Structure 1
Amino acid sequence: MSPRIGVMTSGGDAQGMNAAVRSIVRSGIHQGAEVYAIYEGWQGAIAGGEHIRHLGWSDVSGILNKGGTVIGTARSAEFRTREGQLKAVENLVHNGIDRLIVIGGDGSLTGTRALCLGWPAYVEELVTTGRITAEQAAAHPHLNIAGMVGSIDNDMVGTDMTIGTDSAMHRITEAIDAISSTAESHRRTFIVEVMGRHCGYLALMTAIAGGADYTFLPESPPRPGWEDRMVEVLGRGRAAGRRDSIILVSEGAADREGEPITAQRIQAALRDRTGEEARITILGHVQRGGTPSAYDRWMATVCGAEAVRQVLSADAQSEPMLVGVRRDMVNTTPLLAAVEATHRIGDFVNEGDYEAAIHARGVGFTTMVDIYRMLSEATPTVAHSENAKRIAVMHAGALAPGMNQLARVAVRAGLDRGYDLFAVKGGVPGLISGDLQEVSWSDVEGMASTGGANFGTRRYVPVDADLYMMARTLEEHRIDALLVMGGFHAYATVDLMEKERRRYPAFNIPIALLPASIDNNLPDWPMAVGSDTALNTIVRSIDMIRMSASASKRAFVVETMGRTCGFLPLMGALAAGAEKAYLPETGITLEQLTDDVTALVDSFTSGRSFYLTVMGEEASKYFTGDVITRLFEAEGAGIYSVRDAVIGHIQQGGNPTPFDRINATRLAYMAISNLDRQLLNGSTDYVAASSGAPGLLAPLREVSAGMDWDNQRPNEQWWLKVRPVFEQLSRRPGQE
């Protein structure tokens, strides 16, 4: 008999759960397993019968873009009892299920592990009482489990992100952006309450992404007198020219005496001290609703495939594993260790060891707490010094959403340290022509949420004749350090400047280089600023394309940007549920197209009504989107119609996603910190973003060594490692 895998979603729902279920079902089928959905979580396992159903390939079609969970979820009090667990084991055994993947929070995963440990005793009791046969017991002597965390709170240690968190941040950030508009119009203060009973991740990250003024986290209760401190910080912002104030509070926030800090308590504190009647917005369950983001779709998909591998390869001695992500790659952690480390954070808070609680959340959380403290505590009006050193900030290359946040954080972090900040207007051509402008705190107000690049940018790499004018500009404006933010053109420009330092002494200043490119074609950094926004634009566009074809049999060929890099077409295809992806790295051959046409025709004759192909704009010089569209239609013999869609430059537009805003914040802060250290110790190093380096910056030469300059993409592309998952899920067995 084929191995049987059960999959359930348990506890609170989270966007992206359906992507995980789809991946588990299709990965299981590819590996020769039968997959059963256990509806309504552990309550369904206890009820049995119609609550445990076999799922086929087509049963999970069309669910990737749906919020919630199509197999239902529930919090089961009965499962906490011994009899409830005994019933669950009985029903699983009767259905031949001894491999289980649970998508839920720490409570669901803790209970699942306990059931796993007690399985042999339960099976023995069921045999003794005649509820299962000895043969059934012998066939299922132990339970193998894998856990995936579905929780918008991002409250589990052992994974960088939990399923649903990114989507929830989208909902919150959209709300903050909307609230900021009305707050600014009326010069008002708004208090926004977000979810996070025990974890402040949502409040912290969306405060950074939304440019909020103050936030309250469960892990970091404020000291006595916080009310006056809050009023002081808000007052500084208003004095610097800000018209609105936004305060974010996590639902689980409390003071150091354990008294809850609610939105109403904050409102009363402001009323008593300023006379202002702040407005309250409680976002509630809207944070868990709506379609999942691109990240939650592809992340849940690759984790689901790994969870199947884990349960099929496990044996009686295998430790139950938690499947998550680390630096955007699949990562597994012993489930017990992850759960115990998560529970320990609550103990730290109760013991008053708040720094330990913050550090237990991981390096990323700790770093962002430090950055947010700097941004919220920064002084807008640092006393000017005639001897202050000067830092110039410049964009270069194609536009990427999030460039404004990079500039905003860089300017404010630099001003807070006492430097004079200058914007190079219009990118590299602005540096050549000497178009520099001093910028103040208020000049970057409101830029966190806006797309575009207010300082301007151009796709231009200087030629030898330009270098003299660039050096002269730096000398005439007495620039002591330079921060460059952009894509391939930025990297090529700074690389050239480093090579010409001997000829031009003005280039002997510290320079930091940060990645901002929708193509995500830069070395040593997993997600360039702007790439997540572009990916979400692609996925939203495909969702609408899919709906447009719902009344007919139609195939679509969708072309993305990305030039010679396959990040956007591959990850867009994975997140949108495409059947085929054509990448620049692999190209397109006539033989391949012949096989693909055969699969396309077979899909429609087998009952499909929609077929999606995603291709990069430079996947092939000859087989363009128009050519492939015509070829697909010609071979269809009227069974279906084919349309092409070029998404185009809207991928560069729109407001940056929370991911890109947070990414930009971290990068800009670390870059200014690096330039500050260099200016203090007299160094003149060129550094670039590097995810594995201390301080997230490494010598430019080390980073540049990872660049394929001819093809304008990194030598190592992490996203190509998920291509086998896409290939496995895009076509059912027998269609290869």
Structure 2
Amino acid sequence: MNACVRAVARCALARCCIPYAVLEGYQGLVDGGDKVKRVGWEDLRGIMPLGGTVIGSARCLPFRSRPGRLAACLNMVKLGIDALIVVGGDGSLTGADILRAEWAGLVEELAKEGKVTQEEATGVGAELKIVGLVGSIDNDMAMTDITIGANTSLHRICEALDSIVSTALSHQRAFVVEVMGRHCGWLALMAAIAVGADWVFLPERPPPMTSRYPDWESEMCALLQRNKEMGNRKALIIVCEGAIDQSLQPLKPEKVKEVIEKRLGLDTRVTTLGHIQRGGTPSAYDRFLATVQGARAVDAVLEANPTTMSPMIGMSENQVTSVPLMEAVKTTKEVANCVSRKDFAAAMDLRDPEFKHAYDAYIESTLLADAPLSNSVPATHRLRVGICHVGAPAGGMNAATRSAVRLLLNRGHTPLGFSNGFQGLVDGDVKTLNWQDVNGWTTRGGSELGTNRVQPAPLPEFLELGLLAYSFQKWGLQALLVIGGFEGFTSVLNLSRARALYPAFCIPIIHLPATVSNNVPGTDYSLGSDTALNAIVEACDRIKLSAAASRKRVFIVEVQGGECGYLATLGGLAAGATTSYIPEEGLNLARIQTDIQHLKRRYIEEDQRGIANEGRVILRNEAVGAKTYTTEQLANIIRDEAKGLFDARTAVLGHLQQGGVPSPLDRCRAVRLAVNCVDWLERVAFESLEKKLNGSNTDVNRDSDDIKSTRRPNVYCPDSDTACVIGIRGAQVTYSPVESVAGETNLTKRKATMRPWWLELQGLTR
């Protein structure tokens, strides 16, 4: 919320508007006086890393009645406030819309009573503009993918659950953990996906989850017992605070604990995370979300007119959206109505479209198929699917692999993992992965399969294609999932281009982008980029504290990214950097001199006004000006030009951006995209098989000596659209043929030639 306040106020100032901060929510509007304060640029510095809200929030009973809203109207008119940007849940947004609907009548009443002049009534009081921003950890608002605060809350939950899992493993215990969410199970479901929980209870979908069991007690205990027999040392159950059973009765953690202890005899503990989920430093994504939505809210105020409906600013993937506020509130309330009618399918459909997909993916990757599943494939269509990691490690690689392996197993396929990428396949370091092999991979950073930059290419210094084709045949590969960065993309491209010479490569091949640099063409996001951003923002927060303590100090922080400025741009926006230097804009002496003059003005102004000097950071992408303006050289130039007014230091973050526990967002994206990858591989392979079956072609691949007992259907996919890159573009999951994507790629600079969506954020940072 603080990042939102900062963005709204500073963007308003930049557009020559006058921002006021209303303290304690609607209560501040009703009370007026010192509860409504005009804010300037300096009032908002240093608030980005703070949890909660610096302007306060409170429930206000008087505002729910007309006299209370009349008092609020009076205070606003007297201060000249003719627009209100509200950050809150459905109740707060509904209250704002009511105020707008009554506004004309309220102003008229104040004018009749002589409390406002006719000039005020026809001037600032003539119209009220309302814009809503959704601040809710529950993520329960319809018509937006995510709400401000939800991602940070998920971070807090996952941090706690990761610690609880360690304790559970040590003591072989079961833990039942209650998380917030009211009537929305988003936090519970995403946390279950992000930590690989054994079971989850949601308000929208009461258990049992499948038709194989008569009640949830039998279903849950069967799952836990089977996991224990397979060697699991822990059991983790997540319960949303609004969870219910099929009869709409509340389902509490204590009841779940009682069932586990009675039926399974497991030592079980209950943990309620409570308000720890609401606090703490905001995540990088929440800072980005609040900043871009806050800026858009100011634009919406300036664009509004008396005929437009009050808008709600939302988000669909990386695209900021504007939808009718009350339509969103109405749809949100309809979810609870569906649940009360026991129409759980409709309740699921009213959530964000990805909610149901995430739920289905979680169920299929959690429930080991002890009986044929409805979506399991016939024996004639079961595939041998290779999985490998290529390039540098990135957060989410392991989570994607785990989900892919478990889905493939549940559908009757055989997943084969290559250790250390394609080199491992050639060396014969290949293993048939089972359910337990990937247990616990969701929360692990790095690459459990192992990864390197070796890739197949028709060049002597790379892996020889003929040898690789022989290995494809030797292991009977019928589909391939490549998880990795730009080397993964070029590997798939080279395999696709070599199909005419090597028919072994004529199988469905899909690349799931995973790199901190986020430079893979064909997608807006790569796995690992959010984990890296959180590492950068956390480091910058600490560096700024050091810089502030030393007073006049500027840090030049070097971040990774190669020729792609994504990390520097998003990191600078989320960390509150003074500016960021990226290859897309280049760097020269004129730009450096402009920034130095800006810094000098800021420090001089702070001294003149007696304001404590602020610690500042500048983010530099590792490749920008690499031959001339190195990080150390930039610090030297700035230090010399400052003439003693302030100091300059350096910080090179290096490989800490690639390591650590993956962020919850990267884990959830990994699961979502892995499911889509498996679905695509199946669809493409099955289309090939159906063509052969319809043509009465019953040929099978000739079995090699290594796998004599395996007879496999003949998959043959020579078309260019059967080797693709999966991506998130705008609000859609896309499958782009690598050949077409290569046409919009600068292979030398290792990035797309098209203007990236995030580049416009450079201006917003400044």
- What's the TM-score, normalizing by structure 1? 0.94
1:706 and 1:369 map into 2 onto residues whose CA distance is 35
Cα 1:327–1:521 change in 2 (3 A) is same
CA contact (8 A) 1:380 1:441 kept: no
1:602 maps onto 2:620 in alignment: no
1:131 maps onto 2:112 in alignment: no
Aligned residue number for residue 708 of structure 2: none
CA contact (8 A) 2:87 2:133 kept: yes
2:670 and 2:109 map into 1 onto residues whose CA distance is 57
1:330-729 map, 5 Å? 330-379=320-369, 389-464=383-458, 466-552=464-550, 553-607=552-606, 608-621=613-626, 622-681=628-687, 682=689, 684=717, 685-691=722-728, 696-714=734-752, 715-727=754-766
1:288-327 map, 5 Å? 288-327=278-317
Could you tell me how far 1:694 is from its partner in structure 2? 7.7
The alignment partner of 2:126 has SS state of coil
The alignment partner of 2:178 has SS state of strand
1:321 and 1:386 map into 2 onto residues whose CA distance is 53
CA contact (8 A) 1:218 1:253 kept: yes
Could you tell me how far 1:282 is from its partner in structure 2? 0.4
1:32-47 map, 5 Å? 32-47=16-31
RMSD: 1.8
1:70 maps onto 2:54 in alignment: yes
1:176 and 1:27 map into 2 onto residues whose CA distance is 38
Paired residue type of 2:578: E
1:149 and 1:109 map into 2 onto residues whose CA distance is 8
Could you tell me how far 1:313 is from its partner in structure 2? 2.2
Q: Deviations for 1:149-169, whole angstroms, at most 9, x for unmatched residues?
A: 000011111211100011001
Could you tell me how far 1:299 is from its partner in structure 2? 1.0
Could you tell me how far 1:102 is from its partner in structure 2? 0.4
Q: Deviations for 1:552-575, whole angstroms, at most 9, x for unmatched residues?
A: 210110000000001000000000
Q: Deviations for 1:119-164, whole angstroms, at most 9, x for unmatched residues?
A: 0011111111222221111112111011100000111112111000
CA contact (8 A) 2:544 2:616 kept: no
Moved more, 399-408 or 234-243: 234-243
Could you tell me how far 1:516 is from its partner in structure 2? 0.3
The alignment partner of 2:728 has SS state of coil
CA contact (8 A) 1:482 1:512 kept: yes
Paired residue type of 1:29: L
Could you tell me how far 1:460 is from its partner in structure 2? 2.6
Could you tell me how far 1:696 is from its partner in structure 2? 4.2
Q: Deviations for 1:551-608, whole angstroms, at most 9, x for unmatched residues?
A: 2210110000000001000000000001111001111011111211211222221214
The alignment partner of 1:346 has SS state of helix
Aligned residue number for residue 141 of structure 2: 156
1:106 maps onto 2:90 in alignment: yes
CA contact (8 A) 1:236 1:379 kept: no
Which structure 2 residue ranges, 5 or more long, are not aligned?
A: 209-213, 607-612, 690-715
CA contact (8 A) 2:394 2:515 kept: yes
Could you tell me how far 1:37 is from its partner in structure 2? 0.4
1:313 and 1:407 map into 2 onto residues whose CA distance is 46
1:321 and 1:694 map into 2 onto residues whose CA distance is 23
2:455 and 2:443 map into 1 onto residues whose CA distance is 28
Could you tell me how far 1:187 is from its partner in structure 2? 1.5
Could you tell me how far 1:439 is from its partner in structure 2? 1.7
Could you tell me how far 1:496 is from its partner in structure 2? 0.6
Could you tell me how far 1:263 is from its partner in structure 2? 0.4
CA contact (8 A) 1:671 1:697 kept: no
Moved more, 632-641 or 195-204: 632-641
The alignment partner of 2:19 has SS state of strand
1:267 and 1:609 map into 2 onto residues whose CA distance is 51
Could you tell me how far 1:175 is from its partner in structure 2? 1.0
Moved more, 439-448 or 52-61: 439-448
1:5-154 map, 5 Å? 17-139=1-123, 140-154=125-139
Moved more, 443-452 or 123-132: 123-132
CA contact (8 A) 1:380 1:416 kept: no
Moved more, 122-131 or 272-281: 272-281
Which structure 1 residue ranges, 5 or more long, are not aligned?
A: 1-16, 728-736
2:684 and 2:257 map into 1 onto residues whose CA distance is 43
2:658 and 2:519 map into 1 onto residues whose CA distance is 15
Aligned residue number for residue 11 of structure 1: none
Aligned residue number for residue 201 of structure 1: 186
Could you tell me how far 1:385 is from its partner in structure 2? 8.2
2:452 and 2:346 map into 1 onto residues whose CA distance is 45
Cα 1:491–1:689 change in 2 (3 A) is same
Aligned residue number for residue 180 of structure 1: 165
Cα 1:705–1:381 change in 2 (3 A) is farther
CA contact (8 A) 1:196 1:250 kept: yes
Moved more, 618-627 or 115-124: 618-627
2:200 and 2:86 map into 1 onto residues whose CA distance is 33
The alignment partner of 1:521 has SS state of coil
CA contact (8 A) 2:581 2:621 kept: yes
Could you tell me how far 1:703 is from its partner in structure 2? 3.8
Moved more, 214-223 or 559-568: 214-223
The alignment partner of 2:644 has SS state of coil
Paired residue type of 2:414: D
Paired residue type of 1:720: L
Could you tell me how far 1:701 is from its partner in structure 2? 3.0
Could you tell me how far 1:381 is from its partner in structure 2? 9.4
Cα 1:680–1:326 change in 2 (3 A) is same
1:455 and 1:179 map into 2 onto residues whose CA distance is 26
Paired residue type of 1:533: T
CA contact (8 A) 2:549 2:615 kept: no
Paired residue type of 2:619: V
1:454 and 1:381 map into 2 onto residues whose CA distance is 29
Paired residue type of 1:373: I
CA contact (8 A) 2:512 2:727 kept: no
Moved more, 702-711 or 230-239: 702-711
Aligned residue number for residue 13 of structure 1: none
Cα 1:417–1:610 change in 2 (3 A) is same
2:368 and 2:680 map into 1 onto residues whose CA distance is 18
1:613 and 1:694 map into 2 onto residues whose CA distance is 33
2:35 and 2:685 map into 1 onto residues whose CA distance is 65
The alignment partner of 1:550 has SS state of helix
1:524 and 1:463 map into 2 onto residues whose CA distance is 21
Aligned residue number for residue 731 of structure 1: none
Aligned residue number for residue 710 of structure 2: none
Aligned residue number for residue 693 of structure 2: none
Aligned residues: 711
- What's the TM-score, normalizing by structure 2? 0.90
